[in-house]
Chain A
Amino acid sequence: MSQTAAQRFLQDAAVKSADLMHREVIQRGMDSYDAAHLKGRARIKDWEAARQKCQEIKREAINHLDRYLLQFEEKVIARGGHVFWAANSEEACTYVKNLATRLGVRTVVKSKSMVTEEIHLSPALEKAGIKVWETDLGEFIVQLREEPPYHIVTPAMHLNRGQIAKLFREKLDPKIDSEDPVDLMAAARRVLRQAFFAAEMGISGANFLVADAGVIAISTNEGNGRLCTSVPRIHVVVTGIEKVIPRLEDLAVLWPVLATSGTGQGITTYGTLIGGPRLSGEVDGPEEFHVVLVDNGRSQLLADAEQREVLHCIRCGACLNICPVFRHVGGHTYGTTYPGPIGSVLTPHLNSIKEFKHLSYASSLCGACTSVCPVKIDLHHHLLQNRRNATEAGATKSSERLMFRAWRHAMLHPRIYAVGGWSMRKALRIVYGLGLAGSILDPMRVWNRYRSPVPLPSESFRARWRKDRAAN
C-alpha cells in the first residue's frame, strides 16, 4: 500500500526534527531574516497601520474579484495582450504547452513563480520536449537538485555554500573550486546568460495584477525577472486570480510591505510593471504577451465566507519564517507547494481536506504566523476551522471520535470527571510504580518517549479544597 500524505509527513517530520545540522542551517538563516525583518519594520513609520492598509486593499480586491479581474483583462487585451482563464492546472498547462508548440518554442526561461510550481508547469513543458530553465538563483539550484523549492521566497535556504559548490561542480563545471558566493553566482550566470538569449519564451509569475492600469507588477532582486520578460519573443505570465489589486497607487504600500515581510528590504532591487507586448515604435519587449489566470480551487475558497481572506496572501513567506514547526521540520517535509502556516491553511482547499487535514493539526496554534502576516490573515484560527471541517466531514479516526464523546460526557458530569481523574492518576501511579513507564501498558507512552512522566499528585485541587472547607 502506498503511503498517504499524512504518513509521509509524520515520517519526514521525525527525521528532520531530529536532524541537528538541518536545524542549525535553518536557525542561522532565520536569525538573519529576523534581524533584517525587524530592521525593515522599524523603517516603516507605522507598521500596524501599513498592515491594516494592506488588509483593506486586499479585502476590497477579493470582495470584488470579478470586477477587478475583468478590468485588468480589458486593459491587457486593449494593449494587444492575451488573457486566458484557466479553471485548473491542466487547463493552464495545456494552454502554455500548446502556445509553445504552436510558436515553435524549444527553450523556456522562467523567473520565480510559485503558481507554476502549484500547477506543475515545468514537467508538463518538458514532457512536450521543451527545455525549461529556472533563472532565479535559488530556483536554479533546486532545479539542478531535482527537488521542489524549500521555501516560497528563498527556495534553496536549506543549503550551504559548500553544498551548492559541490552541486555546481557536478552539474555545471567540474573546474569550479571556490565556495565563494560571488564565484558561484558567476558560474550560474555564465550558464543562464546563454539560456536567456536562446529562449523563445519567458515565463514569469506576478506579485500583483493592477486592475486600473492593466499591468502586472513583479518584485525581484536578481534582474533575471526583467531578462525573462523582455528578451524572449514571447512572455507568458502565469498567476493566481487572487493577485489582483484595484489601483496602481496601492503598490505604494504593498510593495514595501511585501519586501519588508519577505526579506527585510525597504523595497526589492527591481520593481517591474508590464502591460502588454512591444508596441510599434518601442525598441524592445516581447512580440506576444499572454496572461494565464489560474483558478485551481481559488473560487471555491472565495465562496467560503469564513476563510475567504486566505486569498489575501501576498506570498511573502513571513509566516513560514516565524513558524516554530517550519523551523523544525523544514519546507520539504510538508510535501506541498506552499509549506508553512499558509500552506497548511490553503492546501486542504486547493487539494482535499481528507488528504491534507493533517497539516492543519501539525501546529501548536501558537499564533506567531498571524502576528506577522502583513495582510493580517487570521492563519491559526483558520487552522482550527480546517480541523473542525475535517471532523465534521467524518475524516477523523473513529477511536478519536469515541474518545471525545466519552470526554464530553465526563466534562458534563463533575462527579464522573472527578472520579475519572482520580482513577487515571491512580492507574498511572501503579503502572509507573511497576517500572512500566513508556511500555505498551502506559497510556502516556507517546508523551513519555521524549518527556519525563507528568506529576501525579495523590489529591486533586478540588479534593484539597473540599477537605480544607470541611476542616474550617
Chain B
Amino acid sequence: MKGKVSLFVPCFVDQLLPEVAVDTVKVLRRIGCAVEFPEDQTCCGQPAFNTGYWNDARPCAEHFVRVFKHADVVVCPSGSCVTMIRTFYPELLAASSLREDAIALASRTFEFSEFLVKVAAVTQVGATFPHAVTYHASCHGLRELHLRDQPLQLLRQVNGLTLIEMARCEECCGFGGTFAAKFSDISAAMGNSKAESVAATGAEFVTAIDPSCLLHLQGILGKRQAPTRTIHLASILAQESPQKSRAQEQL
C-alpha cells in the first residue's frame, strides 16, 4: 500500500482528455495507491494568472487550496498545473490568509511521473506498449519542476517500447495557453517545427507529461495529417498488454 492519493485533474483534462485521468488512476491503483477525487475541484487558476488576471486567478487558487488542504498527497498528470501550485501560488497568494496552507500543500503536490519515481520510488509499473515512441520534454515540467529524467526512467521500463530521441526535444511546442489564441501564427509555426522534429524520428507516438502540449500537438499533427499520434505518459503506463484496449477499462 502506497497510501492515499488525491487526484487533481486539470480542467481541460477533465473536459477534453478524460482518458488521461482515467489512466492516471489506473497506474496509481496498480502500484497500490488508494485514489480519491475531490469533486469540488475545478481549475488551478493558471489561465487567468498567465494572462495577467491575478485578481481573478487568486480566488480560484484559494478555492483549490481549500479543496485539497487536507489531502496527504496530491497527484496531477500535468507538470504545468503543478508548476502553478508550486512555483506561482506563493507569489499569487502572498497577501492571502491561505498562503501558508498553499505553501504546505505545494510541498505535497506532485506531477504524476515525479510522484512515481521520487515519492513512490517506482519505475517499473508493469506496462507493455510495443511501439516506437518519442518523448517531448514539456517546458514547465522540465524547467520549473526540473523533471528531466523521471519520465524517461519510466518509459525505459515499459515492456516492448522503443524510445527514439527527438532533436530539440526541449524546445517548446508552442502551446502556451492563451498564447496559442493571441499569437496563433507564432504558436502554430512553433508547433509545426515540433511536428517536423517528431516526424524525423519516425516514431508512432509522441508522449509527454503535459496533456496541454499533447492537445496542441494533436491538433497540429492532425492538421498535417501526420501519422504520429499523441499519447500521455500515463496512458502508456496504463497499458498492460497490447490486447487490452484502453477504452474498455473501468475506472
The residue that A368 contacts in the complex, of B19, B171, B176, with Cβ under 8 A, is: B171
A457 near B39 (CB under 8 angstroms)?
no
Kindly specify which of B95-103, B107-115, B157-165, B217-225 makes contact with the partner chain. B217-225
B18 near A324 (CB under 8 angstroms)?
no
CB distance from B240 to the nearest CB of A (A): 19
CB distance from A209 to the nearest CB of B (A): 33
The residue that A412 contacts in the complex, of B50, B59, B193, with Cβ under 8 A, is: B59
Mark out the residues of chain A between 428 and 472 whose CB falls within 8 Å of any chain B CB in the assembled complex: 446-447, 449-457, 459-462, 464-466, 468
Known: A364-B176, A366-B176, A450-B223; 9 extra A-B contacts, CB below 8 A, are A13-B185, A324-B190, A328-B186, A364-B190, A366-B172, A450-B184, A451-B191, A455-B17, A464-B18
CB distance from A309 to the nearest CB of B (A): 15
A451 near B216 (CB under 8 angstroms)?
yes
A411 near B45 (CB under 8 angstroms)?
yes
The residue that B14 contacts in the complex, of A18, A367, A461, A468, with Cβ under 8 A, is: A461
Majority SS at the chain A contact face: helix
Residues of B within 8 A of A384 (CB): 49-50, 52, 88
B42 near A325 (CB under 8 angstroms)?
no
Residues of B within 8 A of A411 (CB): 11, 42-43, 45, 60, 63
Mark out the residues of chain B between 173 and 212 whose CB falls within 8 Å of any chain A CB in the assembled complex: 174-193
B143 near A368 (CB under 8 angstroms)?
yes
Q: Does A329 contact B (CB under 8 A)?
A: yes
Residues of B within 8 A of A325 (CB): 186, 190
B41 near A414 (CB under 8 angstroms)?
yes
Interface residues, chain A, with chain B CB atoms under 8 Å away:
10, 13-14, 17-18, 23, 324-325, 327-329, 361-368, 370-371, 384, 387-392, 396, 400-401, 404-405, 407-408, 410-412, 414, 417, 421, 424-425, 446-447, 449-457, 459-462, 464-466, 468
Could you tell me the distance between the alpha carbons of A410 and B14 in the complex, rounded to whole angstroms? 15
Number of residue pairs spanning A and B whose beta carbons lie under 8 angstroms apart = 195
Given contacts A368-B139, A411-B42, A417-B42, contact A17 B52 (CB under 8 A): no
B1-35 interface bits toward A, Cβ cutoff 8 Å, 1 = contact, 0 = none: 00000000101011111110110000000000000
CB distance from B172 to the nearest CB of A (A): 4
The residue that A460 contacts in the complex, of B18, B143, B178, with Cβ under 8 A, is: B18
Interface residues, chain B, with chain A CB atoms under 8 Å away:
9, 11, 13-19, 21-22, 37, 39-43, 45, 47-57, 59-60, 63, 88, 139-140, 143-144, 170-172, 174-193, 215-216, 218-220, 222-223, 250-251
A466 near B139 (CB under 8 angstroms)?
no
Could you tell me the distance between the alpha carbons of A455 and B219 in the complex, rounded to whole angstroms? 9
Could you tell me the distance between the alpha carbons of A32 and B167 in the complex, rounded to whole angstroms? 14
The residue that A451 contacts in the complex, of B43, B170, B183, B223, with Cβ under 8 A, is: B223
Could you tell me the distance between the alpha carbons of A461 and B19 in the complex, rounded to whole angstroms? 7
CB distance from A400 to the nearest CB of B (A): 7
B143 near A449 (CB under 8 angstroms)?
no
The residue that A396 contacts in the complex, of B22, B52, B175, B188, with Cβ under 8 A, is: B52
> Which 9 pairs, one residue from A and one from B, show the smallest C-beta to C-beta distance?
A451-B219, A364-B176, A452-B222, A387-B52, A450-B188, A17-B189, A391-B52, A366-B172, A461-B18
B184 near A405 (CB under 8 angstroms)?
no
Could you tell me the distance between the alpha carbons of A371 and B177 in the complex, rounded to whole angstroms? 20
Q: Which residue of A lies closest to B60 (CB)?
A: A411
CB distance from B62 to the nearest CB of A (A): 9
B187 near A461 (CB under 8 angstroms)?
no
Residues of B within 8 A of A371 (CB): 143
